[in-house]
Amino acid sequence: MLCNSAVLKVASRCNLNCSYCYMYNMGDESFKLQPKLMSEGVVTALIQKVRNHLLKYESDRFSFIFHGGEPMLAPPSWYEFFDAEVQRILKPVGITADYYMQTNATLVDDEWCRVFGKLDIRPGFSMDGTRASHDTYRLDHAGRGSYESVVKGIQTYQRHFHSAAVILVLNVDEDPIEIYEHFKSLK
- Give the pLDDT confidence of 137-149 residue by residue, as tens digits: 999 999 999 999 9
* pLDDT on residue 20: 83
Q: What is the dihedral of CA 36, 19, 141, 170, to 10 degrees?
A: 90
User: Per-residue pLDDT averaged across 123-149, rounded?
Assistant: 93
Report helix angle 110-119 to 76-89, nearest 10.
Answer: 10
Contact 160, 117 (CB under 8 A): yes
- Reported as half-sphere exposure (CB side, CA atoms, 13 A), residue 167 has a value of 10
Express as a percent the part of the chain with pLDDT over 70. 100
Helix (H, G, I), strand (E, B) or coil at 115: helix
pLDDT value at 170 more than 90: no
* pLDDT on residue 27: 72
* pLDDT on residue 187: 86
Confidence at 33, pLDDT banded by 50, 70, 90 = confident
Confidence at 21, pLDDT banded by 50, 70, 90 = confident
User: Per-residue pLDDT averaged across 93-108, rounded?
Assistant: 97
